[in-house]
Chains A and B, each alone.
Chain A
Amino acid sequence: MSFLEIKDIRKKIGSNEILKGINIELEKGGFLVLVGPSGCGKSTLLNAIAGLLPPSSGDIIIDGQVVTDLHPSKRDIAMVFQSYALYPNMTVEENIAFALEMRGVEKAQREAEVKKVAKTLQIEHLLKRRPSQLSGGQRQRVAMGRALVRQPRVFLFDEPLSNLDAKLRVEVRAEIKALHQNTHATIVYVTHDQIEAMTLATKIVVLKEGQVQQVGTPAEIYNRPANLFVADFMGSPAMNMLKGKVSGGGIALFGNDGIKVAMPPSVTATLPDGKEVILGLRPEAITDSGLVDPKVVSVAQIEADVTMVEPTGSDTFVTGRIDGASFTARTRADLHVAPGQKFAFSFNLDKAVVFDPRTTQQID
């Protein structure tokens, strides 16, 4: 039984259709991440769930109750904003207690609840301070505390880590994940960072221009992207898109009939000869022969010119070029290869995903 149901939500602002019919379901205790490039409508969708922006049509249903027409304060939700939105004239304690105060909770009980939450987030020592006296990470915790104390049905996060520096981002991200694991809260989280999406979500929804591109677990999204957009958006460096043609039971890559690889296991062998396809392969699936997992079924060994070598410390990214097409391979850090040399790359075709270039959809 789904706990949060987003039913055919559409939103039009002026003549601009921002959300074009969104349907998503989330089970209780799930962590839903809405991810996509800027302008895809993810924040609009989050605001619609919160009730801050009424949809043009469609419904939001929380735990069986249709909340579409309800005021935000009556939906039993809490939201953590990108800019934290802490009330500047109140202390941390007053900030966290504000929602309880609005509900008429008595002072003694308010104090008790605030203390409990502050203890969980380790911000007890900050209770009497003002937001302007806090660091970015501390403010973020206070914002989460303000949401936690409400014990809402659904937590909404609107790009909460965007204003933090890289190191802090990793720390707070881990705290959010721990929070989810400890409290089993139902969370809807918006971000443009696909790493956050991968590490935090139980379910990812990829959005583009107001339409759902794919819904799935992180593994599904990463390994079996539904279309070229999802394949390209998730994962860094981006997935390699290799042009090819179906030929005699296999795929001829790079427009060169000489370079033929076996059809990846997931792809149906009933594609007609001559059909143009795009073979998607992530950099970590192209490597040097020493690194290939022996359990892999289809491997193709292809020699190409090395055009660029980028050592990152933990790996080396090698850009290869063959017949005018480039691809990126991830090899081990201590590989010795230089631009201008020829190198034999091993292509792990088990991981390959095949797309139809005209429909951009995955062929499976």
Chain B
Amino acid sequence: MTTIEPAPVIAPQRQSRGFADGLRDALPKIVLAPSFAVILVFVYGFILWTVYLSFTTSRILPVYKWGGFDAYFRLWGQPNWYVAMQNLAIFGVLYIGICIAIGLFLAILMDQRIRAEGVLRPIFLYPMALSFVVTGTAWKWFLNPGLGLEHTMQNLGWTSFKFDWLVNPNMAIYTVVIAGVWQASGFVMAMFLAGLRGIDGEIVKAAQIDGASTVAIYRRIIIPLLRPVFLSAFIVLAHMAIKSYDLVIALTGGGPGNATELPSTFMYSYTFTRNQMNVGSASAVMMLMGITAIIVPYLYSELRERKQ
């Protein structure tokens, strides 16, 4: 064992921490602080403000008089709101379901070592680069009964062809589905394609050796392995469905009448045109609750995994 050397005669000088050191340590937090503060105020603060407004008696302008749950009662007493919720359900289910189905189908096709992939993929994806307003405008034109698809088909000889969904109160919501699916399914395809490409090829080879048919391999092995992608796609699409405002406004304006009313359009009209700010706020709070119920569990599980 080594001998322990005697302690030095002169006490060693100690450097004390100065102001500069403290500043240097705090600098990262100082840099992050403005953004975080902004988010705190403009996101969480404003949400609280909106929630508060929903409990007041505000009409045209914010009024800070307590109104209790009055706005909520009136909200749920509105037939329009029920139409909006119903439409959201129809639109949501069809939009998410069809986007996932088409997206998965396209991805499986594209995964078959297609030579023209470089050309085809951008074609399916480009609608995502367009504004919802442009999409709505294009499809409004495309589905226009007098001048669009219906007229064209009749022109081509199919004289009994009718496609007046756009102006039909019962069917208008489905046009929103069509336009929405056209826009987003390419993106879902991209997600599934990435997922398919991430699957270990050896698992598929093992299944082939075990004698499974192609269909069985897809059904029993590949698609179950894509579960995380299904979840991600669902989250993204549900989120887009709840937020969708631009598309509806551009495509149908909420009509005919209020046939394509959605919570997002409801909120806007009740707040800014019908001057019932508290009801509008209440509807915004409902939308927020819907999104929170979907997003928060998902975010929590994602962030938790990364702790490892």
| Interface status of B210 (Cβ within 8 A of chain A) | no
Instruction: Tell me if A65 and B12 are in contact (CB < 8 A).
Output: yes
Instruction: Tell me if A2 and B15 are in contact (CB < 8 A).
Output: no
Q: Which chain B residue lies CB-closest to A74?
A: B15
Of B2-10, B31-39, B61-69, B88-96, the stretch lying at the interface with chain A is: B2-10
Q: Report the minimal beta-carbon distance from B15 to chain A, rounded to whole angstroms.
A: 5
Of B16-24, B118-126, B188-196, B224-232, the stretch lying at the interface with chain A is: B16-24
Instruction: Tell me if A64 and B10 are in contact (CB < 8 A).
Output: yes
**Contact residues, B117-148 vs A (CB, 8 A):** none
- The verdict on A215 contacting B1 (CB below 8 Å), with A66-B13, A66-B15 known, is yes
Q: Which chain B residue lies CB-closest to A2?
A: B5
Q: A64-B12, A67-B15 are in contact. List 10 more A-B contacts (CB 8 A).
A: A61-B12, A64-B10, A65-B12, A66-B13, A66-B15, A70-B15, A71-B24, A215-B1, A216-B1, A220-B1
| Interface status of B14 (Cβ within 8 A of chain A) | yes
- The verdict on A69 contacting B15 (CB below 8 Å), with A215-B1, A215-B2 known, is yes
- B interface: dominant SS: loop
Contact with B along A191-216 (1 / 0, CB 8 A): 00000000000010000000000111
| Interface status of A1 (Cβ within 8 A of chain B) | yes
Instruction: Tell me if B12 and A66 are in contact (CB < 8 A).
Output: yes
Q: List 20 A-B contacts (CB under 8 A).
A: A1-B5, A1-B8, A2-B5, A25-B2, A25-B5, A64-B8, A64-B10, A64-B12, A65-B12, A65-B13, A66-B15, A67-B15, A69-B16, A69-B21, A70-B15, A71-B21, A203-B2, A215-B1, A215-B2, A216-B1
Q: Which chain B residue lies CB-closest to A62?
A: B12
**Contact residues, A53-79 vs B (CB, 8 A):** 61, 64-71
**Contact residues, A111-134 vs B (CB, 8 A):** none
Contact with B along A24-65 (1 / 0, CB 8 A): 010000000000000000000000000000000000010011
Q: Report the minimal beta-carbon distance from B44 to chain A, rounded to whole angstroms.
A: 29
Contact with B along A88-127 (1 / 0, CB 8 A): 0000000000000000000000000000000000000000
**Contact residues, B79-123 vs A (CB, 8 A):** none
A residues near B10, Cβ cutoff 8 Å? 64
Q: Report the minimal beta-carbon distance from A71 to chain B, rounded to whole angstroms.
A: 7
Q: Report the minimal beta-carbon distance from B72 to chain A, rounded to whole angstroms.
A: 45
B residues near A215, Cβ cutoff 8 Å? 1-2
Instruction: Tell me if B12 and A69 are in contact (CB < 8 A).
Output: no
Q: Report the minimal beta-carbon distance from A205 to chain B, rounded to whole angstroms.
A: 10
CA distance A149 to B14 in the complex (A): 27
A residues near B8, Cβ cutoff 8 Å? 1, 64
CA distance A66 to B14 in the complex (A): 5
Q: How many A-B residue pairs have CB under 8 A?
A: 37
Q: Report the minimal beta-carbon distance from B82 to chain A, rounded to whole angstroms.
A: 52
A residues near B21, Cβ cutoff 8 Å? 69, 71
9 smallest CB-CB distances across A and B, nearest first, come from A66-B14, A66-B12, A64-B12, A69-B17, A61-B12, A2-B5, A70-B15, A69-B15, A215-B2
CA distance A221 to B15 in the complex (A): 36
CA distance A226 to B1 in the complex (A): 9
Q: Which of A69, A216, A226 has the most CB of B within 10 A?
A: A69
B residues near A203, Cβ cutoff 8 Å? 2
- The verdict on A25 contacting B16 (CB below 8 Å), with A64-B10, A71-B21, A71-B24 known, is no
B residues near A1, Cβ cutoff 8 Å? 5, 8
A residues near B2, Cβ cutoff 8 Å? 25, 203, 215-217
A residues near B17, Cβ cutoff 8 Å? 69
CA distance A220 to B2 in the complex (A): 9
CA distance A214 to B4 in the complex (A): 13
Instruction: Tell me if B14 and A69 are in contact (CB < 8 A).
Output: yes
**Contact residues, B224-281 vs A (CB, 8 A):** none
Q: Report the minimal beta-carbon distance from A218 to chain B, rounded to whole angstroms.
A: 12
Q: Report the minimal beta-carbon distance from B255 to chain A, rounded to whole angstroms.
A: 56
CA distance A64 to B8 in the complex (A): 8
Q: Report the minimal beta-carbon distance from A66 to chain B, rounded to whole angstroms.
A: 4
Q: Which chain B residue lies CB-closest to A27?
A: B5
B residues near A65, Cβ cutoff 8 Å? 12-13, 15
B residues near A68, Cβ cutoff 8 Å? 14
A residues near B1, Cβ cutoff 8 Å? 214-216, 220, 226
A residues near B13, Cβ cutoff 8 Å? 64-66
Q: Report the minimal beta-carbon distance from A216 to chain B, rounded to whole angstroms.
A: 6
CA distance A108 to B5 in the complex (A): 44
A residues near B14, Cβ cutoff 8 Å? 66, 68-69
Q: Report the minimal beta-carbon distance from B26 to chain A, rounded to whole angstroms.
A: 14
CA distance A203 to B3 in the complex (A): 12
Q: Which chain A residue lies CB-closest to B3?
A: A25
B residues near A2, Cβ cutoff 8 Å? 5
CA distance A270 to B39 in the complex (A): 76
Q: Report the minimal beta-carbon distance from A152 to chain B, rounded to whole angstroms.
A: 17
CA distance A70 to B16 in the complex (A): 8
CA distance A67 to B17 in the complex (A): 11
Q: Which chain B residue lies CB-closest to A25?
A: B5
A residues near B16, Cβ cutoff 8 Å? 69
